[in-house]
Amino acid sequence: MPENNFPKLHNATWPGIVGKGSDSEPVISFDTMLEKTAAAEVNGVKFDGVDIGLFDPHIDLDMSDDGVKKLVDKIGGLNLEIGSLVAPIWSGSAMGTKEARDEFVNQVKKASIFGQKLRKLGIRPNGIVRIDSSSKPEDWALDPVNNTKLIAETFRRACDVAAEYDEKLAAEGEICWGGMHSWKTMIDTLEAVDRPNIGFQADMSHTFLYLLGYNRPEDRVLPVDFEWSDRAALEEGLKKMTSALRPWTIDFHVAQNDGTVHGTGSHDKTGRHCLATDPNGKLDITHDAGYWLRHENGELTKAFRHICWDGCMFPNSVMTDQQTWNDILAAMIRVRQAHGWYEA
């Protein structure tokens, strides 16, 4: 595949951590996630890179410059680049105490510095720093107006810090984060931030649950009596939601969802990531990715130069099976074939 075929295809490494640990299965090592990504191949096409979570036990955000160089050499040695980064903001909170909000901003600063180092070393040509509110929807619901203001204030501070290192922040739309738990609350939060370097990170699985109104029934898009056999109604719902969120979208995850919430271990009440080949998947991955990757007139948005597969909370036996990653790569390739472009 020509090097200037876009968007680049990335795999996420944090599914080796999310939903794993003492109350679930063991964490899958960073090296294993890299090896499975690098080994995946479909008709001569391979993954172009990885998106990484900047948290233990995969990454030490406080590693030395020499450590960063070794990380770059390791990933570059596998012919992979680095794209978007996940800031470990959960040691703080966007709507917590002053100390919690300060810690949130501090983690964004550290992630932005880390991202700048990767760019200077030439391995990170594009990508954002991902954040969420690190707050529960039920806590947000105690005072929606003021809590949205508080989250927006924290996000503004984080944006200003990130801008010092030429980074953009993308807020992850997921039903488990307060102020981000429905498509409408997400837009309200983004509008309140009012900074040029913030946008939306759309995951096809997480945003799918916006349609069903989990954690925010009044913002449900699909009818309460919706039947999964009604593909036309589903497409209308997707069109409505993506039309509202697409202008904000600066980072994109290809994923599948079976229409249910799911959690593993301490990571609960979130979009159920399904395998690309899951017969219970409700999304037509290739077709439905187009609602995010194309304007309503059909023209490509070209809003980002790589897309990523995010599939969390699968059993370790599935995630260490190389065929899993070949199937995922095949799904990514089909998305690019349908919605990609070539630059001479």
The pLDDT profile of the chain, 344 residues, written as one tens digit per residue, is: 456 799 999 999 999 999 898 878 999 999 999 999 999 999 999 999 999 999 999 999 999 999 999 999 999 999 999 999 999 999 999 999 999 999 999 999 999 999 999 999 999 999 999 999 999 999 999 999 999 999 999 999 999 999 999 999 999 999 999 999 999 999 999 999 999 999 999 999 999 999 999 899 999 999 999 999 999 999 999 999 999 999 999 999 999 999 988 765 555 566 668 999 999 999 999 999 999 999 999 999 999 999 999 988 899 999 999 999 999 999 999 999 999 999 98
Task: Give the model's pLDDT for residue 2.
Answer: 57
Length of the chain: 344
pLDDT digits (tens, 9 = 90+) for 73-109: 999 999 999 999 999 999 999 999 999 999 999 999 9
Find the CATH number of the domain harbouring 47: 3.20.20.150
Task: Give the model's pLDDT for residue 280.
Answer: 94
Task: Give the model's pLDDT for residue 145.
Answer: 98
Q: From CA 285, how far away is CA 211, in angstroms rounded?
A: 16
Task: Give the model's pLDDT for residue 269.
Answer: 66
Task: Give the model's pLDDT for residue 100.
Answer: 98
Task: Give the model's pLDDT for residue 344.
Answer: 83
Q: From CA 307, how far away is CA 284, in angstroms rounded?
A: 17
In whole angstroms, how large is the CA radius of gyration of the chain? 19
CA atoms within 13 A on the CB side of 171: 38
Give the torsion sign (CA, 251, 11, 133, 286): positive
Task: Give the model's pLDDT for residue 1.
Answer: 47
With beta carbons less than 8 A apart as the criterion, state whether 305 and 83 touch: no
Q: How many domains does the chain have?
A: 1
Quote the domain boundaries for residue 104.
5-342
Task: Give the model's pLDDT for residue 273.
Answer: 85
With beta carbons less than 8 A apart as the criterion, state whether 169 and 198 touch: yes
Task: Give the model's pLDDT for residue 313.
Answer: 83
Backbone angles phi, psi at 54, to 5 degrees: -90, 65
Q: From CA 242, how far away is CA 229, in angstroms rounded?
A: 21
With beta carbons less than 8 A apart as the criterion, state whether 112 and 157 touch: no
Instruction: Give the residues across from 341 on adjacent strands.
Output: 6
3-state secondary structure of 87: coil
- CA dihedral 18→156→84→306, nearest 10 degrees, is 120
Task: Give the model's pLDDT for residue 170.
Answer: 98
In the chain, count of helices (H) and strands (E)? 11, 12
Geometric angle at alpha carbon 205, from 75 and 175, rounded to 5° = 110
Task: Give the model's pLDDT for residue 336.
Answer: 98
